[in-house]
Chain A
Amino acid sequence: MDFLKRLKDRAPEYDAQYYDMILEFTIEQGAGMGRQSEEERWKQGKYFSTRYEMYMYAAALGLRKDYRLPIARGTEKQKFIEMRSWQPMEVTDYLIMGVLAKSELDFNVLEDMEEEDVEKELTKLRSLLEEYANGGFDLIRAKKEEEPAFFINENCFLDLLD
């Protein structure tokens, strides 16, 4: 029981080098919720309303392209909001499903583990999600460097998923 809850209570982190890039595509924080913030995002020419949206996108991109990039030990990381707060929840759960699918975790073995080992496995899963998101961020960065004009197009993030 409560496997998902325990996993979603974890807050993934990301490589601090992507902080500026995330800000570049994400609305400045502080706008209200709902349509007003959406309109604000549109006016600012941004693609994502929140940082977690961009993170979810990066994770989905990494999983889509099956590209994960471990964050090197000692890399400065940015704290991030817990997965339980990500919206929509079904997308978050789908990404977790993807990470579980990609992990080497044996569900049967997991269920027979001692509590301490379960915790370790949950941490590993979080790290795997971070690796896929990191992979996604790396793909965006590479595309930006290779073709800066690509991101002027309003379809850019959709096209990147092709």
Chain B
Amino acid sequence: MIIESIELHNFMCYSGENRFDFTEGMNVIIGDNNHGKSKLYDAFYWAMFDQCFDTGLKKWMPTRHFGTEIISDKAIYEADSGMVRAVVRVTFKNVDRDQAYIIERRLTAVKKENGTAADKESEETVLFKEFDFMQGKEVTNPAEIDRIKRNILPDNIRPYMWFQGEQVESIIDFSHSSSLTQAINVLSNITRYDQVRELALALEKSANDEYQRKARAQSKDQGRSEELEVRRRGLVERLELLEKEELKKQDVLGEADEATQRLMGQFEDASRMRDLDAKQRAVERSLDEVSDDEKRERIDLHKKMFTHQWVLKGTSHLLEEYNAKYSKYERTRLQMFAEAQAKLKAENLIKEEFQTRLPINVPEPMYVNQMLDDEKCLVCNRPAERDSEAWNSIKALLERTTAKLEELEPESLTKHDFSSDFKRIQQNGYAMERIIGRVDSDIKSTFQKLKRLEKRRKGYSEDLNKVTEEMNSMKAGSSLDPTQAKNIVNELQAKQDLIKRFQTELGRTEKDIDVLKEKVKAIDKEMSGLVSGEMPAYLEEKKRVLEEFAIVAKSTRDRVFDKLVRQLEAEANKHYQEMMQGNQGVRGIIRLVESTKGNYTPRLTDENGNPLGQLNTGNIILIKLATIMAIISARQGSRDTDLYTLITDAPMSVFGEDYTIGFCKTVSRVYRQSIIMSKEFYKNETLRRELMVSPDIKRGKVYVITPSIADADRTNRNALTTLIKALN
């Protein structure tokens, strides 16, 4: 059964009528992110299983969860009031018999003035065409519809045939025995072996119980036997609990071990990235600091014109000129002062001379006053009447002796005195002169400092570019970002701690189990010792045979399981080697190593089984993809890869473009028909060319899908359609 076509009418971004035809071989739908690849994948899933993928919840959800989101926004927007409908129709063709099944799903919504409401449930129609040229006949029987669908895609292989790239990680979980058992079950019905084992164990237990009962019945000491039986039962119950606990711990250990393997593969990159991230932050900090210093220095550069008096650069001569003027001023002023002082001195001399006409150091004024009182000159003995000329002359003598000598005040020399301002200007000039003398060296050292800062900034900037470049190439190469890197390093540490703790705990549990088993054995021995007479031979034989049967059933199951794992491993290796062809990276051989009971960890080894370093995410995804292919292709005696179509959305996005062509070659070789949604071929012309011409790829139809309005230009989706262009 291959898929002949899918028709989409107003389904999500596929507004209007859209159709993809498919042939055998690898059909590829090329589109960038948000171009509608996942919606096409949704369309297949919706038509078949009435579910779409909720990218937020990362879960498949039923139609009612999405409501009108299933119908094209453009269709709703353009519709007049009334009914709007989304339809997806997938035609499956049985090429060998020229028969076809058409599965159609519809969702109807009603548009009203106050909004659009979709039906809660979708409608489904299944048509069967006996011959291609005939009209389809509707299949109405639900059981028949189920049968047809199971025929198109059986439930047990669905996860390995129809999946999204991001699911690959979880489809095969090597650390859980149940996940691997489920995969192994697709290969062969291992559950039958499990059932046989369970049966053998139950039989063994029952035979044992019967034997114990009989032994008690024949006991010499019934009381002791009963007591021993009670103790035994308690021990067995405890033993069962411990064994369950042991299994759980083994699962936890297995999971932690796989996580450690995965993380170890990334650890080298992650720890380098973490160190690089720390280095990048440190360089960024230094760059910020030095840039700030440089910026501050540049901001201050022109301010220094004034704060550091650079503006006065080369003006020392002004002080000299001022000094010349000021000196002249000072000289003149001093001269004027000296002249005035000389004049004053002469005047004072005269005054002093006048004073010497009277006897010195005698109390003359007393005599003079007496003369004035007596109105008579005592020198010449002539009368001197009050206010007469003679009297006044005597009085003048008295005043002359009291006249003070005058002192010269500089201010009084001129009308204004600006000397202190002129002086102040000169003093300021001297202060400035000292600074001006240093301006050139100040400027020089400032520019040297700026140069140093600039050099450091450029150095840090170059360092940052290098680190950033290194970081970017590391990011591109390892699909990690610094936060993830940090988380990986931390998680690895946590997982390693967990493993350590659980190994100790598991060891303790195993020891406890051994102790309990010994105790049970001892009780059994004691109980046997209490038996009087012989135990019936048939019971002895039954017990022994069923014990052996249990051992055989268990070991057979384990051997078959291991054989299937090896088969899966061999088949996965075939696919893995093919996918890796043309790639320069580590190739190696996949080994599924049993880490704890029933838990397997994938390892890459050389031909001699020596481990080839640690696995990175890309390796692990490739191993898982190879395993997924192996689960289908290794099915004994089946033609599953011929019977069913592989549909996968963006399977290659997780391991990078290097492996794309290898993957395509392998897929087109393994599956009769596949439909792959991919963005790898959208921008990479070389890859696209190789896809279109490689003789090793069995091509089906190749389409490019693009939105009618680019993502960045969209304000809403009211005019959004998807353009489909067939490349062959």
Residues of A within 8 A of B (CB): 1-4, 35, 38-39, 41-42, 47-49, 53, 56-57, 60, 63-64, 87-88, 90-91, 93-94, 96-98, 100-102, 106-108, 110-114, 118, 154-155, 157-158, 161-162
Contacts and interface: CB of A to CB of B under 8 A. Distances in A.
Contacts of A42: 295, 298-299, 302
B314 A64 contact: yes
A1 B416 contact: yes
Interface in B277-318: 295, 298-303, 305-307, 309-315, 318
B322 A100 contact: yes
A107 B302 contact: no
A100 B302 contact: no
A47 B424 CA distance: 31
Interface string B331-361: 0110010000000000000000000000000
A36 to B, nearest CB: 10
Contacts of A102: 318, 321
Contacts of A41: 299, 302
Interface residues of B, number: 47
Interface in B403-443: 414-422, 424-426, 428-429, 431-432, 443
Interface string B562-577: 0000000000000000
Contact of B315 (A60, A112, A155, A157): A60
Contacts of B455: none
Contacts of A100: 322, 325, 425
A97 B314 contact: no
Nearest to B424: A4
A13 B56 CA distance: 72
B416 A91 contact: no
Given A98-B315, A107-B326, A114-B415, 16 more contacts: A47-B302, A49-B302, A56-B306, A60-B312, A90-B428, A90-B431, A90-B432, A91-B312, A94-B309, A98-B318, A100-B425, A102-B318, A107-B325, A108-B328, A108-B333, A162-B314
A98 B328 CA distance: 16
B425 A97 contact: yes
Given A91-B312, A97-B429, A111-B415, A38 B303 contact: yes
B417 A1 contact: yes
B319 interface: yes
Contacts of B49: none
Contacts of A112: 414-416
A161 B426 CA distance: 23
Instruction: Identify the interface centre among A39, A96, A112, A158: most chain B CB within 10 Å of its CB.
Output: A158
A106 B322 CA distance: 11
Nearest to B324: A101
A49 B328 CA distance: 39
A108 B325 CA distance: 10
B367 interface: no
A98 B425 CA distance: 10
A153 B449 CA distance: 17
Contact of B300 (A38, A48, A88, A101): A38
A64 B322 CA distance: 14
Contacts of B303: 38, 49
A64 B436 CA distance: 12
B306 A87 contact: yes
A97 B322 contact: yes
B131 interface: no
Contacts of A1: 416-418, 420-421
Given A97-B319, A101-B322, A113-B416, A88 B305 contact: no
Contacts of A110: 416, 418
Interface in B545-578: none
Among the interface residues B300, B421, B431, which one has the most CB atoms of the partner chain A within 10 A?
B421
Interface string B230-248: 0000000000000000000
Contacts of A63: 315, 318
Contacts of B77: none
B420 to A, nearest CB: 7
A87 B305 CA distance: 11
A139 to B, nearest CB: 14
A119 to B, nearest CB: 11
Contacts of A161: 310-311, 313-314
A113 B443 CA distance: 44
A91 B428 CA distance: 9
A39 B336 CA distance: 55
B443 A158 contact: yes
Nearest to A43: B299
B306 A98 contact: no
Contacts of A108: 328-329, 332-333, 336, 414
Nearest to A56: B311
A101 B326 CA distance: 9
B298 A111 contact: no
Nearest to A2: B421
Given A107-B325, A108-B333, A112-B414, A53 B305 contact: yes
Nearest to A35: B299
B332 A101 contact: no
A53 B322 CA distance: 23
List the 10 closest A-B pairs by CB distance, nearest first.
Answer: A101-B321, A3-B418, A101-B322, A107-B329, A98-B318, A111-B414, A3-B421, A42-B299, A4-B421, A93-B428
A95 B303 CA distance: 18
A64 B431 contact: no
Given A3-B421, A101-B322, A157 B305 contact: yes
A88 B306 contact: yes
A24 to B, nearest CB: 14
A91 B311 contact: yes
A97 B312 contact: no
Contacts of A106: 329
A102 B318 CA distance: 8
Contacts of B322: 97-98, 100-101
A91 B308 CA distance: 10
A111 B328 CA distance: 14
24 contacts: A3-B416, A3-B422, A38-B299, A38-B300, A38-B303, A49-B303, A64-B313, A88-B306, A88-B307, A90-B431, A91-B309, A93-B425, A93-B428, A100-B322, A101-B325, A107-B328, A107-B329, A108-B329, A108-B333, A110-B416, A111-B418, A113-B415, A118-B416, A161-B313
Contacts of A114: 415
A94 B417 CA distance: 21
A154 B415 contact: no
A107 B312 CA distance: 24
A80 to B, nearest CB: 17
Contacts of B428: 90, 93-94, 97
A3 B333 CA distance: 17
Interface centre among B333, B414, B417, B447 (most CB of A within 10 A): B414
Contacts of A93: 424-425, 428
A158 B425 CA distance: 25
A54 to B, nearest CB: 10
A87 B311 CA distance: 12
Contacts of B431: 90
Contacts of A3: 416, 418, 421-422
Contacts of B326: 107
Nearest to B298: A42
A15 B253 CA distance: 89
Most B-side CB within 10 Å, residue of A2, A41, A111: A111
Contact of A94 (B310, B321, B325, B432): B432
Contacts of A118: 416
Contacts of B306: 53, 56, 87-88, 91
A100 B326 CA distance: 10
Contacts of B417: 1, 111
Nearest to A65: B314
A101 B302 CA distance: 27
